[in-house]
Amino acid sequence: MKAGIVCLIGRPNAGKSTLLNNILGHKVSITSPKPQTTRYNIQAVYEDTRGQIVFVDTPGIFGKVVDSLARRINPKAQEQLSQELDVVVYLVDHTRTRDTEENKTLGIVRKVKAPKILAINKIDVKSPSHIVQYKFMEDEFDQVVELSALQRKNIPTLLDAIFQLLPEKERLVDTDHLPQPGLNIDSRIFLAEIIREKAFLFLRREVPYSLTTVVDEVTERTNGALYIKGRILTSADRYKSMIIGKKGAMIKEISMAARKELETAANKKVYLELTVETDEHWIERM
């Protein structure tokens, strides 16, 4: 049997969370068009007959640290790479040109001593393509895989490459007693992340990256339904009004979408009570 810790790293929106979700077949990390979506080093377990992979999805590396939130997230990814790892998967998006952000990420990956895989994502997109800007890296990596995380293309090829590089050892996590999905984060954080994803998807560019979500209560009622009480925190009243929307239309849309996904994840009826609050200092507590 083979087993080990595999770190996914790449600049924001390279597709790390989509890749991890589609490898495992269920959602463990939220995705959205906004950068800085992943705020935690999320760990999830993949197993098959070959062995066990403990995946770590790190927050994207930002080229320019322009706010206090980015200053807190950036070190989390670099801290993970300083830990004992068995394989690093460096995910790049060939549809985006290389820039200082990508160069910074590559520089960090180069310092890692573990075996490395270069995974070129979004090969289902033919144009634009800047793949020639990434091809020169291939000699620096133990394996190179071209894939589409979104379309699930060549994900088995990536898994084959990972298992080839993993050491022979017993599995690291006892998954027999692990809830599904098998995560290292508290269930309330997972639920809050689902709500935050829906807020991002509905708000798009209307609200800058200035919100977070908190789940205060999770209670199973006598009828078997799950009652979840959550809050969306934002940094200014003007954003609060945008999140609520005219006559509460936006918060209703967010709540409905979040509730549907939470019911799928929990496999039971969910009642979601969601409110919006202004908290100028939420970023400082990240």
Residue 42 CA: distances (Å) to CA of 4, 54, 61, 99, 183: 15, 10, 15, 26, 7
Mean of per-residue pLDDT scores for the chain: 77
Name which of 2-6, 208-212, 246-250 the model is least confident about: 208-212
Residue 209 CA to residue 57 CA, distance in Å, equals: 20
Instruction: Please check if 123 is assigned to a binding site.
Output: yes
* Residue positions counted in the chain: 286
C-alpha to C-alpha distance for 281 and 286, rounded to whole angstroms: 10
User: pTM score, two decimals?
Assistant: 0.59
17 is in an annotated binding site: yes
Residue 75 labelled as part of a binding site: no
82 class by beta-carbon count within 10 Å (0-12 exposed, 13-18 middle, 19+ buried): exposed
Say which amino acid occupies 28.
V
Report the pLDDT value the prediction gives residue 102, as an integer from 0 to 100.
86
Give residue-wise pLDDT tens across range 200-235. 778 765 564 577 888 888 888 888 888 889 998 888
- Across the range 178-206, mean pLDDT stands at 64
- What values do phi and psi take at 43, rounded to 5? -110, 135
Whether 8 shows a pLDDT value over 50: the answer reads: yes
Is 223 marked as a binding-site residue? no
Q: Is 171 annotated as a binding residue?
A: no
**For position 109, what pLDDT does the model report?**
87
Evaluate whether 279 touches 236 at the Cβ level (below 8 Å): no
- Per CATH, domain 2-177 is 3.40.50.2000: no
67 is in an annotated binding site: no
The pLDDT tens digits for 169-183 are: 887 765 554 444 443
59 annotated as belonging to a binding site for a ligand: yes
- pLDDT given at position 259: 86
* Residues whose CB is less than 8 angstroms from the CB of residue 276 and which lie 6 or more positions away in sequence, other chains included: 231, 232, 234, 240, 243, 244, 251
pLDDT of residue 119: 96
Q: Is 10 annotated as a binding residue?
A: yes
Residue 270 pLDDT: 86
Residue position matching structure tokens 């270069």? 118
Q: What share of the chain is helix, strand, coil (3-state, %, to 5)?
A: 35, 25, 40
Does residue 51 have a known ligand-binding role? no
For the record, the structure tokens of 64 come out as 């320019």
Q: Is 113 known to sit in a ligand binding site?
A: no
pLDDT of residue 95: 94
- Helix 249-266 vs helix 187-203: angle between axes, to the nearest 10 degrees? 140
> Quick one: pLDDT band at residue 26, thresholds 50, 70, 90?
low
The DSSP line for 134-175 is: HHGGGGGSSEEEE-BTTTTBTHHHHHHHHHHHSPB---SS-G
Percent of the chain residues past pLDDT 90, beyond the cut: 23
Q: Which of 51-65, 117-131, 153-167, 242-256 has the lowest mean pLDDT?
A: 51-65
Q: What average pLDDT does range 178-200 have in this prediction?
A: 63
Confirm or deny that 34 is annotated as ligand binding.
Answer: no
Render pLDDT for 83-125 as a digit per residue (tens, 0 to 9): 577 899 999 999 999 888 888 888 888 888 889 999 999 999 9
User: Domain 187-285 sits in which CATH superfamily?
Assistant: K homology (KH) domain (3.30.300.20)
The domain limits of the chain are 2-177, 187-285
Phi then psi for 276, rounded to 5 degrees? -125, 130
Here the tokens at position 30 are 């939220």
Which among 67, 23, 17 has a CA at the least distance from the CA of 41? 17
